[in-house]
């Protein structure tokens, strides 16, 4: 089949055309909900109930976007997601950096500085990837209380770092397995220590897997709702919680255009990350797949 598609015969051109049409239809079908969200978000409220979901707006407006951005919640009423949008960044950025750095150190220690019980430690971390988040809500809440981090940004950062370490360790461990041990052994003979080898040798060649870790962690933390609603306070809620409050606290007529605009604002950072760095994510995943 591949040879037929790659050739320049009439049959190959037909196969290529059919393949492209199939992919185009699949892409359009996949993007249909996004198109509905965008069109609804720029329609006046009166046009939403009067026409089709896919109908183009007769009088497009950015008023729903401005209202969705709005300001922070007041009392039981949420008038926008702007304050919580920046809350999410304040949580995501340090959590991603800390979890990625610790995961890199763990992967390095588990592959290049093996110690007794290293495989058991890695197995326990791997097991942590499969623990349902709902199971640990109560013990984690107690832990945050003991640490004095309840309802704070620092507490949410701590939670995401703890749960991100298992995944980042897995990523870096599998990547570092593919790096020759002789490289580290030669550095040891030259007198380099644990951290010097890590910073001068391992980390500079880790760019592909760092990209994977950053994209994975950014997406997971930004889209998190469970931890955000369980462990945050009124002023520290992430944008996902604010979006839920906005959608579920409307009074009077349901403003679907504002809800769709808020959903687009909340999803925009992850869309930008995947559009700009999606190809590097795939490269990074395959970079450590040679061994281990």
DSSP 152: S
Q: What local confidence, expressed as pLDDT, does residue 234 receive?
A: 82
Give residue-wise pLDDT tens across range 111-153. Answer: 888 888 888 888 888 887 888 888 888 999 999 999 999 889 9
pLDDT band at 286 (very low <50, low <70, confident <90, very high): low
- Average pLDDT on 263-270 reads 91
Comparison of pLDDT for 96 and 131, the residue scoring more: 96
Q: What local confidence, expressed as pLDDT, does residue 159 receive?
A: 94
What contacts 21, CB < 8 A, 6 or more positions away? none
pLDDT band at 250 (very low <50, low <70, confident <90, very high): low
Q: What local confidence, expressed as pLDDT, does residue 75 receive?
A: 45
- Average pLDDT on 145-174 reads 91
Q: What local confidence, expressed as pLDDT, does residue 21 receive?
A: 92
pLDDT band at 292 (very low <50, low <70, confident <90, very high): very low
Q: What local confidence, expressed as pLDDT, does residue 73 receive?
A: 47
pLDDT band at 72 (very low <50, low <70, confident <90, very high): very low
Q: What CATH number does the domain located at 82-287 have?
A: 1.10.3720.10
Comparison of pLDDT for 8 and 64, the residue scoring more: 64
Residue spans in the chain of domains classed CATH 1.10.3720.10: 82-287
Q: What local confidence, expressed as pLDDT, does residue 255 receive?
A: 84
Of 101-110, 116-125, 243-252, the one with minimum mean pLDDT is 243-252
Comparison of pLDDT for 110 and 118, the residue scoring more: 110
Give residue-wise pLDDT tens across range 2-41. Answer: 554 455 677 778 888 899 999 999 999 988 988 889 999 9
Give residue-wise pLDDT tens across range 203-225. Answer: 888 888 998 899 999 999 999 99
Rounded CA gap, 278 and 113, in Å? Answer: 32
Backbone angles phi, psi at 238, to 5 degrees: -75, 175
Q: What local confidence, expressed as pLDDT, does residue 74 receive?
A: 46
Q: What share of the chain is helix, strand, coil (3-state, %, to 5)?
A: 75, 0, 25
Q: What local confidence, expressed as pLDDT, does residue 251 receive?
A: 62
- Average pLDDT on 87-114 reads 92
The residue written with tokens 């359009």 in the block is 28
Rounded CA gap, 216 and 219, in Å? Answer: 5
Q: What local confidence, expressed as pLDDT, does residue 76 receive?
A: 41
- Average pLDDT on 235-248 reads 87
Could you please report the per-residue DSSP string of 236-291?
Answer: S--HHHHHHHHHHS--SS--HHHHHHHHHHHHHHHHHHHHHHHHHHHHHHHHT-S-
């Amino acid at each position: 089949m591949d040879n037929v598609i790659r050739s320049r015969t009439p049959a190959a051109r037909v196969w290529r055309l059919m393949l492209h049409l199939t992919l185009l239809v699949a892409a359009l079908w996949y993007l249909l909900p996004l198109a509905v969200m965008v069109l609804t978000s720029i329609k006046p409220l009166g046009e939403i109930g009067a026409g089709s979901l896919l109908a183009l707006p007769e009088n497009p407006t950015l008023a729903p976007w401005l209202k969705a951005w709005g300001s922070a919640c007041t009392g039981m009423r949420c008038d926008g997601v702007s304050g919580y949008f920046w809350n999410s960044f304040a949580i995501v950025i340090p959590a991603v950096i800390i979890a990625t750095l610790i995961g890199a150190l763990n992967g390095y220690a588990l592959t290049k500085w093996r110690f007794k019980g290293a495989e058991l430690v890695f197995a326990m971390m791997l097991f942590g990837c499969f623990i349902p988040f709902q199971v640990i809500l109560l013990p984690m809440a107690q832990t945050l209380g003991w640490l004095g981090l309840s309802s704070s940004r620092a507490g949410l950062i701590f939670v995401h770092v703890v749960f991100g370490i298992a995944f980042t360790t897995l990523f870096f461990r599998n990547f570092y397995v593919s790096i020759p041990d002789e490289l580290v052994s030669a550095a040891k003979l030259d007198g380099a220590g644990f951290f010097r080898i890590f910073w001068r040798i391992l980390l500079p060649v880790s760019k592909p897997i760092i990209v994977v870790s950053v994209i994975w962690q950014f997406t997971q933390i930004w889209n998190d709702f469970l931890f955000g609603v369980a462990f945050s306070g009124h002023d520290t809620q992430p944008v996902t919680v604010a979006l839920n409050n906005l959608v579920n606290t409307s009074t009077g007529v349901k403003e679907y255009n504002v809800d769709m605009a808020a959903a687009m604002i909340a999803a925009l950072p992850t869309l930008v990350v995947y559009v700009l760095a999606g190809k590097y994510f795939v490269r990074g995943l395959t970079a450590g797949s040679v061994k281990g």
